């Protein structure tokens, strides 16, 4: 995996550019719609160049590799968000792919009830129904859920472009 290669290249040569490339890509993925902002884990791939719209299937091998990358990134940089993403990926693997026999399932399907992404996309109205008007509006703003949507039929993938717990963001 390229991100792991970049982290190893940085460790071997001390090349700051490779570290910046790894951090920038990993952060864009973690903040984008390819990352399940509620349940952790990552979709198989994005269908756009901004990591907004994923193919919603969540694969064991992708998430295992990304767990390793985000753990390595956290160990290398100490970035709190990298540790949070690694923790969430591990929790997803055990909770959602764990089997009664002690193994792991290979994937979660992209479709729910025959609809692609149904489990992972939201409208502002749905957020308000679940959370109440005020909290729903706050969540829609936080997760970049718009009236037009970022996916089909006015629904949006959840993106965490501005994390309120991230001290690197401007609170104003």
Summarize pLDDT for 6-52 with one digit per residue, the tens: 999 999 999 999 999 999 999 999 999 999 999 999 999 999 999 99
- Give 65: exposed, middle or buried? Use CB within 10 Å, 0-12, 13-18, 19+: middle
Residue 152: CB atoms within 10 Å:
11
Percent of the chain with pLDDT over 90: 90
**Pair 100, 130 in one domain:** no
CB contact at 8 A, 145 and 124: yes
If pLDDT is split at 50, 70 and 90, which confidence band does 138 have? very high
18-44 burial by CB neighbour count: b if 16+ within 10 A, else e? bbebbbeebbebbbbbbbbbeebbbbb
**Per DSSP, what are the bridge partners of residue 130?**
none
**Pair 20, 87 in one domain:** yes
Kindly state whether residue 169 falls inside one of the protein's structural domains: no
Domain that residue 17 falls in? 2-109
Summarize pLDDT for 114-130 with one digit per residue, the tens: 999 999 999 999 999 99
Kindly state whether residue 27 falls inside one of the protein's structural domains: yes
State how many domains the chain has: 2
**Pair 89, 126 in one domain:** no
**Pair 11, 67 in one domain:** yes
Query: What is the distance between the alpha carbons of residues 74 and 80, in angstroms, rounded to a whole number?
Result: 7
User: In terms of Cα–Cα distance, which of 100, 91, 136, 107 is closest to 45?
Assistant: 107
| pTM confidence score | 0.90
Query: What is the distance between the alpha carbons of residues 42 and 32, in angstroms, rounded to a whole number?
Result: 10
């Amino acid at each position: 995996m390229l991100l792991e290669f970049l982290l190893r290249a940085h460790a071997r040569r001390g090349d700051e550019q490779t570290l910046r490339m790894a951090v920038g890509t990993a952060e864009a993925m973690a903040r984008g719609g390819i990352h399940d902002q509620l349940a952790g884990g990552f979709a198989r791939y994005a269908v756009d160049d901004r990591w907004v719209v994923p193919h919603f299937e969540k694969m064991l091998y992708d998430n295992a590799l990304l767990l390793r990358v985000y753990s390595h990134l956290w160990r290398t940089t100490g970035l709190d968000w990298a540790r949070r993403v690694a923790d969430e990926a591990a929790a997803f693997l055990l909770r959602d792919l764990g089997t009664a026999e002690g193994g792991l399932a290979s994937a979660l399907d992209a479709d729910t009830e025959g609809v692609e992404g149904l489990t992972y996309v939201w409208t502002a109205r749905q957020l308000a129904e679940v959370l109440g008007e005020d909290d729903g509006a706050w969540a829609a703003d936080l997760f970049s859920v718009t009236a037009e949507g970022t996916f089909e039929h006015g629904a949006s993938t959840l993106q965490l472009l501005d994390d309120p717990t991230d001290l690197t963001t401007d609170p104003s």
